[in-house]
Amino acid sequence: MSAAAANGAAAGTAIVINQLRKGFYLDSVALMRFSRSIAAMPGVEEAALMMGTPANRRIMADAGLLNQTGEAAGGGDLILAIRAKTRPSAEQALTQSQALLDQPAAPGVGATAWRPRTLRAAVKHLPEANLALISVPGDFAIAEARKAIRRGLHAMIFSDNVSLAAEAALKQEAQTLGRLVMGPDCGTAIINGAPLAFANNVPRGAVGIIGASGTGIQEVSCLIGQYGGGISHAIGVGGRDLANEIGGVSTLMALDALASDAATAHLVLISKPPPAAVMARVLERVAGMGKPVTVCFIGAGIMPMPVNATQVFSLKDAARTALGLRQNGDTTPLKAPSDIRAPAERIAGQNTVRGLFSGGTLCAEAQAIFIAADARVASNAPIPGAGQIPATPPGHQLLDLGDDSYTRGRPHPMIDPMVRDQPIIDALSDGAVAVILLDLVIGFGAHHDPAGHLAATVMTHRQQDGPVVIASVTGTEADPQIRSVQIAKLEAAGIHVAPTNADAAAWSLLAAGPTVAA
Amino acid sequence: MSENHVKSLLETPLKVVNIGLESFSEALVEQGVEVVHLDWIPPGGGDPKLADLLSKLE
Amino acid sequence: MQRIDDANRQAMDRILSADPVLVDVIPAAEAIPTLQDRMILHAGPPVDWERMCGPMRGAVAGIAVFEGWAADLQEAEAMAGAGAFDFQPNHHFDAVGPMTGMTTAGQWVMVVENRRFGNRAYCTINEGLGKVMRFGGNDAEVLDRLRWLRDSFGPAMGRALRSGDGVPLKSLVARGLSMGDEMHQRNVACTGLMLRALAPALAATADDTAGLSKALAFIGGNDQFFLNIAMTMGKAIMDPVRGIDGSSLVTAMSRNGTDFGIRVSGTGDTWFTAPVEMPEGLYFPGFTEADANPDMGDSTIVETIGLGGFAMGAAPAVAGFVGAGSASDAANFTRAMGEITYGDNPEWSIPGLDYLGVPTGIDIRLVVETGLAPTINTGIAHREPGIGQVGAGVVRAPMACFEAALQAFAASVGVA
């Protein structure tokens, strides 16, 4: 049981209770889920169950959740912190928190199954292990990855919050050792048919993908599957691999490997536009590889390409080009379904698109579609040509809700769709919003029913003459959530579902009308 | 640059050591991938000073 | 770090290449010439009378009466309080002792020789279960048994051993592991094997059949007879591993009922200590954890060589006795200790774990990194003097010892 006695203190009129569990570790996702259910209890203003690292303690102090008990916690201690209107509610919440922590592990895991604590012991247990999948907090993630590559494993680092210098040092060592480091902040990979972290159940085939973005890989791999093709391997490299400080170490290693991989006939490369020096190095390697390559630098302008490479400007076109379904210069005709309300019927002032994305690259792709249509757009994660929020005046806003500034101390919206509820509710009652544009990403790692949750939120909070809602679903029929089932749930709630994220963006522009054109 | 072992990663059945989120292990097991899930805790009990010392003594 | 890797490899080689043989039983004064009159060797790191726990004080009083230094227990305690005795750890005199670990000049000690390195280690003869001096017992029955060990059994066993070439212990322990012993809490198989090895020579060298019969019955009636031999063996194996510059392997773990102490090869003979913890376990009827004394004894030397709690997977019966639960739990203890050890001992394997060797060579770096403290199987003494054993269980070595050792070790290899 708890190592320290409960310690109550009044903060204003509220009651703050902190309790410590010494040396009790649980991963942050589980803790955040617990925090949420405690915070939802009657009379509870705020609640957090967190490991007592300095950063976490600061977050809790800022949230008015910390008293001297919690302040004394160490990094290996779990803090249970509750702020409630009355002492009885606070104590009830504390009791409930303890019960959550003490509930037995889910059955089926095997109560007596041995689990190694260290990579060293795990490798002894599974000597042929060839990949470490790492999702522990940032600083620790680098240390674990270093151990992995030194033991001859490749590493995929899902964790973020890693310094650029640490990433550079790790990747340089990995290069020397000939080991691949995917990440940090690598959300998706498919190696030899095995989906890692947030990936979809896509058919195997001849297209190899290298991506600096998780949702970009997911959208392209799913569309390739939908269009009748398949994936040999999808290699994530992390969002900063092409930064000058890193120099594209992992991207170049992945290019070399796929160049000589017999299963891969065509490559797709997805990234934000890299800096010039790195871009030159990458395109030089592309030029020498003797296989056709589709290059999608989301947000980049037209640039010279090697003869074996084709530049595309959307994820959708990347998928079509890789399968030979699209010739250079061919643009997809945009046609919104006739039942989307025409701009003329909108009430005055209702003329902007509010995009609320869980996928960063899906948000970037939507911005690219807007910019290509000469629509003025702003984002918290702007691509070249888009305005920076909050500095930009009101207009079309495409927000990446998976960005660090939204996810610190909270689950990612792909894991917990509830994170997106409040922005959606706000937009539904915002008189300036004509269209709410959403993505929905399913597959391994994602929430078990994001469409059901989204449909319920929209149906509960939609208003007479409020904005229309347009969405797309990134996923496959073989995913646990089943794409067609998710689409049906959205459509039953009156949400318009476009075949791709790019189409959804285009539809939303048509539905919002030309009012905010640049 | 030394030998690039990434090609052999792509040609060999994936065997994973999962360090962190347990749901990642579960998805791999469902797909028939061999995986060992670590009972991971922060090295040195989360004490940054000890963790630093340990990394220097590796 | 290459220097640490090399040093640890050398240390592990010395552990694995040891050749311990039980060769003799002789008076402690003869075995340890520096063991003076009125000197009392005790278990664990150094401790003075003021900080000694109840059972150790009880044992001190009893042994002083046994040695004839005091007329009765009261006088013995008064003398101890007045500084009449020189208290020293067994470990500083090539010796070990279970629980209170009393070793004095007038007792007889078993001798284990490590024939690979030529060193010898010593330990008194196990007294049996129940009310015994190692648990702080000190009444007439306890002292009478000590006298019989000194006057009859010890000399008889010495004669028997000297009539042959001694009893090699490594293979005997290997067979014991395959018969369900872990050599700390359970020694019934090894005791039987030892009786089989000794009986012919005991008979051949006996003065009279009545004495022989009593000696054979004593060994056969004490399931823990082999514990003290396993401990002596552990000390003989680990002593040559001491003082290897740059090695992070533990050479001794020991407790005096007040402090738990460890020694690390690369930091020489320094003890790194922390307050001992309370064992968790099962109690004999009529006793509860309220009666328990904190962890005590040099017997943790067996865990230091990969037996005891480290070999729990070999002894599912012990897992139940110590409250650890099922047979698979027992295996998990052994696998977990594999995370904090340099490697396995291929000569001491566990059939039930697909002949996995016992995890051997505790590395303080791995202990601190994993937060896994060594698991120790132990008996539990009553906290009052003179009462004896009240239960048995499992205890963890305190993490603070390893953290302190790590800091000193880091300094010894020039890392701050």
> Which pLDDT does position A403 carry in this prediction?
84
| pLDDT tens, residue by residue, A415-443 | 899 989 999 999 999 989 999 999 999 99
With a CB-CB cutoff of 8 Å, which residues 207-266 of chain C face chain A? Answer: none
Using the Cβ of C188 and the Cβ atoms of chain B, whether some distance falls under 8 Å is answered with no
Range of lowest pLDDT (A80-89, A147-156, A400-409, C66-75): A400-409
How many domains are there within chain A?
3
> Which pLDDT does position A30 carry in this prediction?
67
Judge whether A332 lies within some domain: no
> Which pLDDT does position A145 carry in this prediction?
95
Q: Which class is domain C242-412? A: alpha beta
Judge whether A337 lies within some domain: no
* Chain center to CA of C164: 26
Judge if A95 and A15 occupy the same domain. yes
- Please give the CATH topology (third level) of the domain spanning C18-231: Enterococcus faecalis V583 fold (3.90.1710)
Supply the angle between the helices C154-162 and C209-220 in degrees, to the nearest 10: 90
Nearest to A436 by CA among A447, A451, A425: A425
Judge whether A108 lies within some domain: no
Is the pLDDT at A189 greater than 60? The verdict is yes
Judge whether A411 lies within some domain: yes
Using the Cβ of B50 and the Cβ atoms of chain C, whether some distance falls under 8 Å is answered with yes
Judge if A147 and A293 occupy the same domain. yes
CA distance C297 to C177: 22
Chain A nearest-CA distance from B16, in A, is: 5
Give mean pLDDT, residues A441-470. Answer: 94
Q: If pLDDT is split at 50, 70 and 90, which confidence band does A517 have? A: very low
If you write DSSP's letter for every residue of C199-227 in order, what string do you get?
A: HHHHHHT-S-HHHHHHHHHHHHT-TTTTH
Is the pLDDT at A62 greater than 90? The verdict is no
Spell out which residues of chain B touch residue A116, defining contact as CB-CB under 8 Å: 36, 38-39
If you write DSSP's letter for every residue of C126-163 in order, what string do you get?
A: P--SSS-GGGT--SHHHHHHHHHIIIIIHHHHHHHHHT
Spell out which residues of chain B touch residue C8, defining contact as CB-CB under 8 Å: none
Judge if A97 and A132 occupy the same domain. no
* Chain center to CA of C144: 23
Using the Cβ of B9 and the Cβ atoms of chain A, whether some distance falls under 8 Å is answered with yes
Give mean pLDDT, residues A238-248. Answer: 95
- Taking CA atoms, what residue in C is nearest to A120? C339
- Tell me the average pLDDT of chain A: 88
Cβ atoms < 10 Å from Cβ of C2: 7
CA distance C131 to A498: 83
Inter-chain touch A129–B55, beta carbons under 8 Å: no
> Which pLDDT does position A331 carry in this prediction?
55
> Which of A102, A131, A147 corresponds to the end of one domain?
A102
Widest Cα–Cα separation across chain B: 41
Using the Cβ of C335 and the Cβ atoms of chain A, whether some distance falls under 8 Å is answered with yes
Spell out which residues of chain A touch residue C369, defining contact as CB-CB under 8 Å: 118
**Residues spanned by the domain of A94:** 7-102
Supply the angle between the helices A276-287 and A249-259 in degrees, to the nearest 10: 10
ipTM value:
0.94
Give mean pLDDT, residues A207-220. Answer: 95
Give mean pLDDT, residues A107-126. Answer: 74
Judge whether A331 lies within some domain: no
Give the number of beta-carbon pairs within 8 Å between B and C: 36
Chain C nearest-CA distance from A24, in A, is: 11
Is the pLDDT at A2 greater than 60? The verdict is no
> Which pLDDT does position B1 carry in this prediction?
43
Look up residue A198 and give its DSSP letter.
S
* Per-residue b or e along C228-240, where b marks 16 or more CB atoms closer than 10 Å to that residue's CB: bbbbbbbbbbbbb
Task: Map out the domains of chain C as residue ranges.
Answer: 18-231, 242-412
Inter-chain touch B24–A445, beta carbons under 8 Å: yes
Written as six digits, the tokens of A241 are 């691999």
Chain A nearest-CA distance from C401, in A, is: 17
Range of lowest pLDDT (A31-35, A299-303, A482-486): A31-35
> Which pLDDT does position A26 carry in this prediction?
73
Judge whether A438 lies within some domain: yes
- How much is the CA Rg of chain B, to the nearest whole Å? 16
| pLDDT tens, residue by residue, C316-355 | 777 765 544 567 778 888 999 999 999 999 999 998 888 8
CATH number of the domain enclosing A82: 3.30.1360
Inter-chain touch B56–C248, beta carbons under 8 Å: no
Using a pLDDT cut of 70, give the percent of chain A over it: 89
Using the Cβ of C407 and the Cβ atoms of chain B, whether some distance falls under 8 Å is answered with yes
Give mean pLDDT, residues A494-510. Answer: 95
Inter-chain touch A121–C326, beta carbons under 8 Å: no
Using a pLDDT cut of 90, give the percent of chain C over it: 81
Q: If pLDDT is split at 50, 70 and 90, which confidence band does A102 have? A: confident
Written as six digits, the tokens of A386 are 């888009």
Judge if A140 and A286 occupy the same domain. yes
Chain B nearest-CA distance from C410, in A, is: 7
Spell out which residues of chain A touch residue B28, defining contact as CB-CB under 8 Å: 133, 194-196
Using the Cβ of A55 and the Cβ atoms of chain B, whether some distance falls under 8 Å is answered with no
| pLDDT tens, residue by residue, A133-143 | 999 988 789 99
Give mean pLDDT, residues C64-81. Answer: 96
> Which pLDDT does position A59 carry in this prediction?
77
Judge whether A505 lies within some domain: yes
> Which pLDDT does position C321 carry in this prediction?
58
Q: If pLDDT is split at 50, 70 and 90, which confidence band does A346 have? A: low
Out of C332, C338, C372, the one facing A112 most closely (by C-beta) is: C332
Out of C326, C339, C371, the one facing A116 most closely (by C-beta) is: C339
**Chains contacting A with at least 3 CB pairs below 8 Å?**
B, C
Inter-chain touch B44–C4, beta carbons under 8 Å: no
Using alpha carbons only, give the angle C371, A121, C415 rounded to the nearest 5 degrees.
55
| pLDDT tens, residue by residue, C21-31 | 999 999 999 99
- Taking CA atoms, what residue in A is nearest to C372? A117
Out of A76, A118, A124, the one facing C370 most closely (by C-beta) is: A118
Judge whether A91 lies within some domain: yes
Range of lowest pLDDT (A117-121, A136-140, A353-357): A136-140
Nearest to A457 by CA among A405, A507, A421, A501: A421
Using the Cβ of B27 and the Cβ atoms of chain C, whether some distance falls under 8 Å is answered with no
- Residue C358 has phi, psi (to 5 degrees) of -65, 140
Give the number of beta-carbon pairs within 8 Å between A and C: 29
Out of A123, A179, A260, the one facing B17 most closely (by C-beta) is: A123
Out of C371, C399, C410, the one facing B57 most closely (by C-beta) is: C410
Using the Cβ of C277 and the Cβ atoms of chain A, whether some distance falls under 8 Å is answered with no
Q: If pLDDT is split at 50, 70 and 90, which confidence band does A111 have? A: very low
CA distance A74 to A62: 18
Q: Residues A440, A454: contact at Cβ < 8 Å?
A: yes
Written as six digits, the tokens of A378 are 């702003």
**Chains contacting C with at least 3 CB pairs below 8 Å?**
A, B
Is the pLDDT at A3 greater than 50? The verdict is no
Spell out which residues of chain C touch residue B50, defining contact as CB-CB under 8 Å: 368, 403, 406
Contacts of A509 (CB under 8 A, 6+ apart): A353, A369, A370, A373, A375
Using the Cβ of A152 and the Cβ atoms of chain C, whether some distance falls under 8 Å is answered with no
Give mean pLDDT, residues C264-276. Answer: 97
Inter-chain touch B57–C407, beta carbons under 8 Å: no
| pLDDT tens, residue by residue, A25-42 | 775 556 766 887 888 888
